[in-house]
Chains A and B, each alone.
Chain A
Amino acid sequence: MLQTKNLQFAYNRALSFSFPDLGCNAGESLLITGRSGCGKTTLLHLLAGILHPASGEIKIGNTLLSSLSGSGADRFRGESIGLVYQRPHFIASLTVMDNLRLPAYFGHKPVVGAAIESLAEQLGIGHVLRQLPDQLSVGEQQRASIARAMVNNPRLILADEPTSALDDDNCTSVIELLTRQAAEHNAALVIVTHDGRLKSVVKNQVELSLQGR
């Protein structure tokens, strides 16, 4: 599902990265670890089409993401990629339900209220859909942001430090939910983290090394 080749990125002459080739099949998970400053978030943004690589290829399904223009990448991201962040952020003025409707709206997909509700039930946040995001607990917020990443049935789910702000209990349940949801939706799941607790959970692992600075 996900395949990268000779991926390189440079912020400027002094700060550039070259990444090892990665691959992740549909329904599988890949853990990318490394110390801070080694380019984890940069890699994730490259995979999401938020940053454009200096050279190399990113292929997601049959789409060569690295060849898409800025707005083309925006569109592809909206349709096919779900993102989960370290800290759950929402549109504060919209209810949780409306926040979950947003990906479908921006991704040009039909909004199915019933599907969102059943997804929310699965993730145990069915009872908070009418509330504002601020009124949720941290655990609920993180589950809501997983729901948001899943709404469009993405082919690739990218998670940036999804557990590092959580305690052990929440960490376990969140990573469990993520891997299970990815498997159920037959999506590839890529997690970048420095959270050592995850190393025992995800089998496929790549460690980035501090380089090229």
Chain B
Amino acid sequence: MLLKIIYRNLAHKPLGAALSIALLALSTGIISMLLLLQTQLEQKFERDLKDIDLVVGAKGSPLQLVLSAVYHVDAPTGNIPLEEVEKLRKMRSISGITPLAYGDSYQRFRILGTDTTFISRYGGKLRSGRLFGQSLEAIAGATVAENTGLQVGQTFYSTHGDADGGAQHDHAGYVVTGILERSNTVLDNLLLTDVSSVWSIHEEEHEEHGHEHGHEHDHDSIPREITAALVKARSVHSAMTLPMMINESTGMQAASPALEINRLMKMLGIGVTALQTLALGIMLISGFSVFIALYNRLRERKYELALMRSMGCSRARLFWMLLSEGMLLALTGFIGGLLLSRLGLWILNSGAAREFHFVFRYEPVQSELWLLGITVLVGALAALVPAVSAFRMNLSRALADA
């Protein structure tokens, strides 16, 4: 019954309540969306960072190297000679190297020449078929298979570069030998083959162009190059000293993904903090608007409250009723905020997911519980003044004044 009184009263004059709810929904929506983005991006960055102490690649921006080689979202910085990478393999301070050779793409999904250590690094498991063995065999990640419909045994032709409009290599096609299970890592969005397959596709390309231009090419003159290498150091100490050594003594660049991502997060952090401050400001204003809505209604309802008291409703019960009104407003706003933030993610997902090969998930994160607590607290605080003045109401005077 008390709930009915509260609900009916809010519904009776819906405009004031609507403004409060809209403001609350906006602020909790922004905060909840930031929380979701932050948590999921951090998780994603961390997951993809598995066991990679260093990334070795061509000189250039270290952040770009990390983004391209670890997260596969940026263009690579260039190529490095395989010979140099093989030299690194002999070093005692390095315990593992995974070569990466960027090939072409298929329907915007990148074809990556590597070896099987790349798959085990991310804990990838085959859902069907087998790993690539011979030249021009490839396996597809879960998202790739889902979006392109590629199946085991099917042949596909790659496109030069990773743009849609690139020239198609239609002489040599890859055969799909396996599909990977979903691992929520970069594996999901890649087509994997061995390094030599990537080379052979490009040799053919060279030959083709050679014939067209009417002069011969010596195969051996093409230096064996790869794009980057993921390095696992033997110890924390070597992970610290290796970059300087590689940067100074070779023509390559070594970057620490953890450091670079930290830097990136710090830069993003400024924007996040600004948005959070803005959202907290809106939250304060919405708290104030809840206060005004309740306080105005209190003056109109003074006689109604006196009436309830005269029917035997105790002061404490009236106090709780008004406090609950504020908390109910806050709760409604919070639920609206959750819906808003999911709507925001959905828009992000439908717009940019393909571009960044990342789909945001909708399930609530733990910090949203905190947000719920804070929102309800704001509602209760806003209702506190009206509730106290109802508690202290002089019943005799309130009845006589009407």
Q: Given A50-B399, A85-B399, are A107 and B307 neighbors across the interface (CB < 8 Å)?
A: no
One of B154-162, B170-178, B312-320 at the interface: B312-320
Q: How far is the CB of A15 from chain B (nearest CB, A)?
A: 13
Q: Are B314 and A93 in contact, with the CB atoms below 8 A?
A: no
Complex CA gap A74/B317 in Å reads 11
Q: Are B307 and A89 in contact, with the CB atoms below 8 A?
A: yes
Q: Is A83 an interface residue (CB 8 A)?
A: yes
Within 8 A of B (CB), among A56-84: 70-71, 74-79, 83
Within 8 A of A (CB), among B243-266: none
Q: Are A74 and B313 in contact, with the CB atoms below 8 A?
A: yes
Kindly identify which residue among B5, B310, B402 contacts A94, using a CB–CB cutoff of 8 Å.
Answer: B5
Q: Given A89-B303, A89-B304, are A107 and B311 neighbors across the interface (CB < 8 Å)?
A: yes
Q: Are A71 and B315 in contact, with the CB atoms below 8 A?
A: yes
Closest chain A residue to B311 by CB distance? A106
Kindly identify which residue among A50, A76, A98, A105 contacts B310, using a CB–CB cutoff of 8 Å.
Answer: A50
Where chain A touches its partner, the secondary structure class is: helix
Complex CA gap A89/B307 in Å reads 8
A-side contacts of B206, CB under 8 Å:
none
Q: Are A106 and B396 in contact, with the CB atoms below 8 A?
A: no
Complex CA gap A51/B309 in Å reads 12
Complex CA gap A87/B400 in Å reads 11
One of B8-16, B40-48, B76-84, B326-334 at the interface: B8-16
Q: Is A185 an interface residue (CB 8 A)?
A: no
Q: Is A123 an interface residue (CB 8 A)?
A: no
Q: Is A210 an interface residue (CB 8 A)?
A: no
Q: Is B377 an interface residue (CB 8 A)?
A: no
B-side contacts of A92, CB under 8 Å:
12, 304
Within 8 A of A (CB), among B179-197: none
Q: Are B399 and A45 in contact, with the CB atoms below 8 A?
A: yes
Q: Is B91 an interface residue (CB 8 A)?
A: no
Q: Is B215 an interface residue (CB 8 A)?
A: no
Q: Are A107 and B4 in contact, with the CB atoms below 8 A?
A: no
A-side contacts of B307, CB under 8 Å:
89-91
Kindly identify which residue among B11, B313, B316 contacts A106, using a CB–CB cutoff of 8 Å.
Answer: B313
Q: Are B9 and A78 in contact, with the CB atoms below 8 A?
A: no
Q: Are B303 and A106 in contact, with the CB atoms below 8 A?
A: no
Q: Is A101 an interface residue (CB 8 A)?
A: yes
A-side contacts of B348, CB under 8 Å:
none
Q: Are B1 and A105 in contact, with the CB atoms below 8 A?
A: yes
Q: Is B343 an interface residue (CB 8 A)?
A: no
Q: How far is the CB of A95 from chain B (nearest CB, A)?
A: 9
Complex CA gap A42/B399 in Å reads 11
Q: Is A41 an interface residue (CB 8 A)?
A: yes
Q: Is B345 an interface residue (CB 8 A)?
A: no
Q: Given A89-B402, A92-B304, are A103 and B312 neighbors across the interface (CB < 8 Å)?
A: yes
Q: Are B308 and A41 in contact, with the CB atoms below 8 A?
A: no
A-B contact count (CB 8 A): 73
Complex CA gap A98/B5 in Å reads 9
Complex CA gap A83/B5 in Å reads 20
A-side contacts of B280, CB under 8 Å:
none
Closest chain A residue to B8 by CB distance? A93
A-side contacts of B5, CB under 8 Å:
91, 93-94
Q: Is A48 an interface residue (CB 8 A)?
A: yes
A-side contacts of B314, CB under 8 Å:
71, 74-75
Complex CA gap A97/B3 in Å reads 16
Q: Are A79 and B312 in contact, with the CB atoms below 8 A?
A: yes
Q: Are A106 and B312 in contact, with the CB atoms below 8 A?
A: yes
Complex CA gap A74/B314 in Å reads 6
Q: Is A136 an interface residue (CB 8 A)?
A: no
Q: Are B12 and A102 in contact, with the CB atoms below 8 A?
A: no
Kindly identify which residue among B1, B8, B395, B399 contacts A101, using a CB–CB cutoff of 8 Å.
Answer: B1
**What 1/0 mask marks residues of chain A from 2 to 40 whose CB sits below 8 Å from any chain B CB?**
000000000000000000000000000000000000000
Closest chain B residue to A73 by CB distance? B312
Q: Are A78 and B4 in contact, with the CB atoms below 8 A?
A: no
Q: Given A75-B314, A87-B402, A105-B1, are A51 and B308 neighbors across the interface (CB < 8 Å)?
A: no
Q: How far is the CB of A100 from chain B (nearest CB, A)?
A: 11
A-side contacts of B11, CB under 8 Å:
93
Within 8 A of A (CB), among B1-30: 1, 4-5, 8-9, 11-12
Complex CA gap A79/B314 in Å reads 12
**What 1/0 mask marks residues of chain A from 171 to 200 whose CB sits below 8 Å from any chain B CB?**
000000000000000000000000000000
A-side contacts of B1, CB under 8 Å:
101-102, 105
Q: How far is the CB of A97 from chain B (nearest CB, A)?
A: 12
Q: Given A45-B396, A51-B396, A87-B402, are A94 and B8 neighbors across the interface (CB < 8 Å)?
A: yes
**What 1/0 mask marks residues of chain A from 96 to 117 whose CB sits below 8 Å from any chain B CB?**
0010011101111000000000
Q: Are B395 and A50 in contact, with the CB atoms below 8 A?
A: yes
Q: How far is the CB of A192 from chain B (nearest CB, A)?
A: 12
Closest chain A residue to B306 by CB distance? A89
Which of A87, A98, A102, A106 has most chain B Cβ within 10 Å? A106
Q: List 9 A-B contacts (CB under 8 A).
A: A45-B399, A75-B314, A85-B402, A91-B307, A92-B304, A93-B9, A94-B8, A103-B311, A108-B312
Give chain B's interface residues, CB within 8 Å of chain A: 1, 4-5, 8-9, 11-12, 303-304, 307-316, 395-396, 399-400, 402
Give chain A's interface residues, CB within 8 Å of chain B: 41-42, 45, 48, 50-51, 70-71, 74-79, 83, 85, 87, 89-94, 98, 101-103, 105-108
The 7 A-B residue pairs whose C-beta atoms are closest, nearest first, are: A78-B312, A93-B12, A93-B8, A106-B312, A106-B311, A106-B313, A45-B396
